[in-house]
Amino acid sequence: MKYPGRKENKYKDVHLYIDKGPSGLETASVFLVDKEGKLLHPQSLCLIYEKRHPWFYEWLKKKFEKDNS
């Protein structure tokens, strides 16, 4: 996918991944990262309520990898 994000990867093909940020009291943010783990956008993609939906991050990660391949 062409991603015009970081200066060193400007308009180059970048394989995208998602990564969960540090867990808060009940929530965790999900971010878009490259293969080296660098953030591609400072805002989170979504916020997961881990207390009520602990399974959601694993499901989202599998779905993202399936759709991205």
50 contacts: CB under 8 Å, gap ≥ 6: 23, 26, 27, 28, 56, 57
Which domain does 51 fall in, by range? 2-68
* DSSP secondary structure, 54-66, as one string: TTHHHHHHHHHHH
- Per the structure, the count of domains in the chain is 1
Q: Is the pLDDT of residue 2 over 70?
A: no
pLDDT at site 11:
60
First-residue to last-residue Cα distance in the chain: 10
Q: Which residue has the tokens 């990262």?
A: 33
pLDDT at site 10:
61
**Whole-prediction pTM:** 0.71
pLDDT digits (tens, 9 = 90+) for 6-52: 566 566 667 788 888 887 778 899 998 888 888 888 888 889 998 88
pLDDT at site 51:
85
